[in-house]
Amino acid sequence: MTDYYFDIETNPKGERPDFKGDDILTIQYQQIDTRTGEKKDELVILKSWESSEKDILEKFYHIFNPEKPWEFVPVGFNLVFDYFSLLYRWREIGINVKPKSIFSDRPNIDLKPIVVMCNSGSFKGASLGRFIGKRDSGLKVSKWCKEGDYSSVQEYIEDEADRFIKFYQFLVNRMPEVWQEFAKANGIGQANSL
């Protein structure tokens, strides 16, 4: 099993996401340790402006490899959005992936439900930016790309990845203690086996 921090940046054409019409600007991933969340490799950013959206989608398809789901286990936030974006954009360039191979066959770690729980069970305000202290919104990425300010895009992606991984490391270290506390309080015998 190989865990990877994973995210994409898109170019929204309207007020709501349009998976068929919104271009994928970047795909970023970084190998992390399964148990600690520590970085095991450098952050890779596939950039559409250096080649094309089609090129980065084709490259990432071989990395993501829907046929071998345990070789790339995504760790991210709101992965359903990323999966739908990939699925539709791959189809646009002639790569047909069965939704089942992404949505149910592929293991993943999505922090969105945890952020909702940290937000007292409320979806309102349970944004990644709020919980990791992002400096900017992802909405600026599209603006920066249109202006040709690719260094700002790269800085944003690097900052977000670093903050996300720190948050993930904190959760990986603290969640076993939370469960231990619950197990002890409720007489669950397996509490000492972790």
Is pTM beyond 0.85? Reply is yes
| Residues contacting 110, CB < 8 A, separation 6+ | 76, 77, 78, 79, 80
Task: State the residue for tokens 């950039």.
Answer: 47
Per-residue pLDDT of the chain (194 residues), as tens digits, is 699 999 999 988 877 778 888 999 999 999 999 889 999 999 999 999 999 999 999 999 999 999 999 999 999 999 999 999 999 999 999 999 999 999 999 999 999 999 999 989 999 998 888 888 888 777 788 889 889 999 999 999 999 999 999 999 999 999 888 888 888 888 887 655 55
Strand partners, 9: 26
DSSP 142: H
Domains (range + CATH), the chain: 3-193 (3.30.420.10)
Long-range CB contact pairs, 172-175, < 8 A, 24+: 172/35, 172/36, 172/37, 173/36
